[in-house]
Structure 1
Amino acid sequence: MKICIFGAGAIGGYMAAKLAKAGAEVSIVARGPHLAAIQSRGLTLIEENAAPVTVQVRASAAAADLGPQDYVIVTLKAHSVPPVVGAMQPLIGPNTTVVSGVNGVPWWYFHKHGGALEGTRLASVDPGDAQWNGFGPDRVLGCVVYPAAEVSEPGTIRHIEGNRFSLGEPDGSKSDRAVALSQALTAAGLKAPVRPRLRDEIWVKLWGNLSFNPISALTHATLDVLCTDPGTRAVARRMMVEAQEVAEKLGVTFPIDVDRRIDGGAAVGAHRTSMLQDLLADRPMEIDALVTSVQELGKLTQTATPTLDAVQALVALRGRVAGLYG
């Protein structure tokens, strides 16, 4: 089984290191000093209560160097994927599965969804249908990413917490390809359940991202503060209630209520959300996949999202002023 991680930063690097350590045939596409360090010294993984481990993985900036794969696992930020679909084509053979380990509403959301919106394409996350046409929705296997990790220095991944990568077919089936990848990830010491209702899990994670991320980017507050301050908690709650109405119209079931989800965010502690981290580091902000996509779904389901609309307008302008969005 040949597995390529496309975008082997923190999360992709963590997955690649675990797979390589377990003896899997894994390669990575990366760039810059991180790639140079991996090519010269190997990929180092630092986990709590364990000695650092360095593994040798085949690494390149060019997909053509690696050739067709059985699985291509995409771990880029959502807005970074459409521009590189063309560059990924050398990795894709007739039986390649593309695993979408990307935050937010996925581009394939309405593939095999059923109902009136079956086959709908989402411009906010796949402008110009780049992924829909470039990969094809039949290739996709969904993935919800839970671990937290960071690139502590080029070539070195520090694992912070979590080891679950939930997998799911768009039609909810327990396919051979999903089971095979689950087994490979499990053999590497990761949790990789195959879920029949992956979209429910996508929404539970998105619930926090669509509210906590933009509020933190606007206020610079950490999770513990924005989830307990009465004002920002109320704004987050209204955004989440609006999003829940959208999701439930799409057939999603939420296993927890809004307040428990917010309390869960508070329990994480003094953590800067990914959007705030990107803003502070002058990196492009992941606004469309996390926020604008829910607006788009609101329009498709004829659901009013006034609080989400207001916050999206504010964080989009914040991103444009910083030169990190649009």
Structure 2
Amino acid sequence: MRIAMVGAGGVGGYFGTRLAVAGNEVTFVARGRHLEAIRRDGLEIRSPLGAFRAPANSAVASISELGPVDLVIVAVKLWDTDDVAAQLRPAVDRGARVLSLQNGVHKDMILRRHLPDEAVLGGACYISAFIQEPGVVTHNGTLQKVVFGDYQQEQTPLARAFLAACHAAGIEAEISSDIERLIWEKFVFLVGLSATTTAIRQPIGAVRAHPRSRALLRDLMAEVIAVGQASGVQLDEKFADDRLAFCDTLPAGMTSSMHNDLEHGNRLELPWLSGGVAELATRMGISVPRNQAVADILAPYELGGPAMD
């Protein structure tokens, strides 16, 4: 397949490199020192599953430099989604479809403001990976999964082709016939993990060990479920308890990318996580006091700040 990977960080870098090594024509859209390193030496993946390297000169600086592709995978930070989506129309007009592996539930809403509904695939990924240094992405653990599907609930030839490409690349992947619900289910957990670890400034082990922070974690997830149900998504009332039990199975030292961004003084994806929950709830007249409190607590750090000691 001809694949454009818009964003070459932990998610885009890992999955894009695996796909490239398997023989797909993958072009990364990257920037800065990371772009320079990929152009010079390729993109290296360090993983418990092995070492992989995408070829040199497999990256460009902008979407406008891309040639014809079958699939565009969006893996940038959420605040860049509007800008990226506005530049993707020429690729879509040439027949490409677009799959976002970003966090949250707002991503595809933004893409659909710029692109035809039928061009947008729904998707979610499950992985812990980050840029170790320019040109190098480190994968934590062995979890590396992609789930995607058409919102029209049809398995199109392109979706089946991408599934086959993932399997050939050693990526765990599946097609979902209810991708919107699956995206919301991931969002429930993601909001709980990101909100608690970032606001409390501790990994999940500390959060789940104390009864009051454990209750906060559950309440945050329950509020997301309420907003999802009000949006018409079929989410089980007991799903917050299910995700809380799942949190008990996680390594005690596991944290979230938002917590990592806070510690390094980086911009936060807060407006699309707890802040996004609060914004959607306000539109629907629903009260989400726990998520609103997290959004307020972290608001001074939303655009970045000094690194934590």
| TM-score of the two chains, using structure 2 as the length reference | 0.89
Corresponding position of 1:71: 71
Corresponding position of 2:168: 187
For 1:236 and 1:21, locate their aligned partners in 2 and report how far apart those are by CA, in whole Å: 39
For 2:27 and 2:271, locate their aligned partners in 1 and report how far apart those are by CA, in whole Å: 29
Corresponding position of 1:229: 210
Corresponding position of 2:302: 319
Letter in 2 for 1:273: S
Per-residue Cα deviation, 1:227-256 (whole angstroms, up to 9, x for no partner): 222121111211222222222332323496
Letter in 2 for 1:222: P
Corresponding position of 2:127: 147
SS of 1:45's partner is strand
Report how far residue 94 of structure 1 moved.
3.0
**Aligned partner of 1:284 among 252, 263, 267:** 267
For 1:133 and 1:260, locate their aligned partners in 2 and report how far apart those are by CA, in whole Å: 34
SS of 1:275's partner is helix
Corresponding position of 2:4: 4
**Aligned partner of 2:239 among 257, 269, 276:** 257
My pick for the range that moved more, 81-90 or 222-231, is: 81-90
Q: In the alignment, does 2:293 pair up with 1:293?
A: no
Q: In the alignment, does 2:188 pair up with 1:207?
A: yes
Letter in 1 for 2:258: M
The root-mean-square deviation of aligned C-alpha atoms, in Å, is 2.3
Report how far residue 320 of structure 1 moved.
5.5
Letter in 2 for 1:54: R
Contact 1:211–1:236 (Cα < 8 Å) also in 2: yes
Report how far residue 166 of structure 1 moved.
0.2
Per-residue Cα deviation, 1:82-139 (whole angstroms, up to 9, x for no partner): 1333444554433110111110113435xxxxxxxxxxxxxxxx4xxxx334333321
Corresponding position of 1:272: 255
**Aligned partner of 2:228 among 223, 244, 247:** 247
For 1:195 and 1:84, locate their aligned partners in 2 and report how far apart those are by CA, in whole Å: 25
Letter in 2 for 1:4: A
Corresponding position of 1:132: 112
**CA 1:150/1:256 → structure 2, altered by over 3 Å: closer, same or farther?**
farther
Q: In the alignment, does 2:269 pair up with 1:304?
A: no
How many equivalent residue pairs? 303
Contact 1:18–1:188 (Cα < 8 Å) also in 2: yes
Per-residue Cα deviation, 1:18-44 (whole angstroms, up to 9, x for no partner): 111111111110111111111111121
Letter in 2 for 1:158: T
**CA 1:41/1:108 → structure 2, altered by over 3 Å: closer, same or farther?**
closer
**CA 1:179/1:287 → structure 2, altered by over 3 Å: closer, same or farther?**
same
Report how far residue 175 of structure 1 moved.
2.1
My pick for the range that moved more, 239-248 or 299-308, is: 299-308
For 1:285 and 1:36, locate their aligned partners in 2 and report how far apart those are by CA, in whole Å: 25
SS of 2:222's partner is helix
Corresponding position of 1:156: 136
For 2:164 and 2:303, locate their aligned partners in 1 and report how far apart those are by CA, in whole Å: 43
Per-residue Cα deviation, 1:30-72 (whole angstroms, up to 9, x for no partner): 111111111111121222153x333315211122322232110
